[in-house]
Amino acid sequence: MEKKIILTGDRPTGRLHIGHYFGSLKKRIELQESGEYTPYILIADVQALTDNFNNPEKVRNNVREVAMDYLACGIDPNKTTIYIQSMIPEVAELTVFYSNLVTIARLERNPTVKTEIAQKREIFGESVTYGFLGYPVSQAADITIFEGKYVPVGEDQLPLIEQCREIVRKFNSIYGEVLTEPEAILSSGKRIKGLDGNEKMGKSLGNAIYLSDSEEEITKKVMSAVTDPNRIKKDDLGNPNVCMVAYYHNLFSTKEEIETVCEECKAGKRGCVACKKQLAKNISDTLKPIREKRAYYEQHPEEVDRILQEGTQKARKTAKETMKKIKKAMKLDYFE
Ligand code: ATP
Ligand code: MG
């Protein structure tokens, strides 16, 4: 039986952080290693431009950064096709075809888009661009051009998959059963909070530990983490439930260590500085293999470029085949 296609991706607007790792990368690697699927990962530079159109340098530079993060984490180019979105013109073409199949009102009602527009007031002011409002349409093109069957996503992304399914059904009802209707796989990954106590670690929130951070950078960030505000002196009794250091120990330390740290904190026997140093070491040790693998690719940019080029060529070939079927169905197959 032919393996089902899985599509995932990231916008190249910065390097990837611990939140991305626990939120989606781990799951992608697990799916890749299961051998049950044909995974594609897109580096969504066109989508990144929708709210970074005035900063092409940033998008350009982060394409390779994100690719190196993928490779360093264990995305294997022999098993997963990594490609650059803008290099697949069929996706842009398909986005135009799909734009007739979705109303402006429907896009404006999309909960994910609505939340994001509200967050991006400083970029868009009162009126959002056509491109940003339409990014779910372009995402539907990303998924369907590869006849993607499964899309692993977080809960916040579900409305985008629903939008894609609606477009597919509409297309198929008008032009014939050509497109595959995708299904979301809810990734079990959790939302990682920030060291500053923010509900989310995020690039633009300035609270991220990047997969590529050095031991020194990690230590510096951990040292600034928010701890129990009522604990001022070392022998004050602490409450690990309100401490971000304890929260991160739960992600990076052994069970025994977590127990010891929490007990000693509650008894006022362990100072926050010692606790933070131990955490910084554990985070750094956990990320060490990723950092080392990444350092290799940083020294071999030509290898990263070759992987991106080969992945993109492979993806383009598939996209061309699907586009041929789509154009035939839409009676746009004039000549070769
Ligand atoms: P920005 O601050 O610019 O929005 P970000 O750090 O939130 O950047 P995005 O590129 O918006 O990163 O994240 C894309 C996807 O990565 C999210 O949809 C989510 O699946 C995952 N992700 C990001 N941050 C976290 C986090 N803290 N915990 C879990 N998953 C995350
Ligand atoms: Mg975000």
Question: In the chain, count of helices (H) and strands (E)?
Answer: 16, 5
- Decide the pairing of beta strands 37-43 and 183-186: unpaired
Structure tokens of 287?
A: 């990320």
Helices 255-266 + 244-252 axis angle, to 10? 160
Task: Output the pLDDT for position 177.
Answer: 96
Q: What are phi and psi of 111, to 5 degrees?
A: -60, -40
Identify the pLDDT of residue 125: 85
19 lines ligand 1 (CB under 6 A): yes
Domain 215-294 has CATH 1.10.287.1120: no
Mean pLDDT, residues 132-158 taken together: 93
CA distances 116 to 35, 121, 123, 194, Å, are: 35, 9, 11, 19
Classify domain 5-192+300-329 at the CATH superfamily level.
HUPs (3.40.50.620)
Residue of 13, 16, 20 to mutate, ligand 1, most atoms within 8 A of C-beta: 20
The residue with tokens 């929130």 is 205
Is the CB of residue 202 below 6 angstroms from any atom belonging to ligand 1? yes
Rg (alpha carbons) of the chain, rounded to whole number: 22
Predicted TM-score (pTM) of the model is 0.94
pLDDT tier at 188 (50, 70, 90 boundaries)?
low
Give residue-wise pLDDT tens across range 275-320.
999 999 999 999 999 999 999 999 999 999 999 999 999 999 999 9
Instruction: Give strand ranges (E) for 187-299.
Output: none
- 314 CA to centre of ligand 2 in angstroms: 29
CATH 1.10.240.10, the chain: domain bounds: 215-294
For CATH 3.40.50.620, list the domain ranges present in the chain.
Answer: 5-192+300-329
Read off φ and ψ for residue 6, nearest 5 degrees.
-115, 135
- pLDDT above 70 covers a percentage of the chain that reads 99
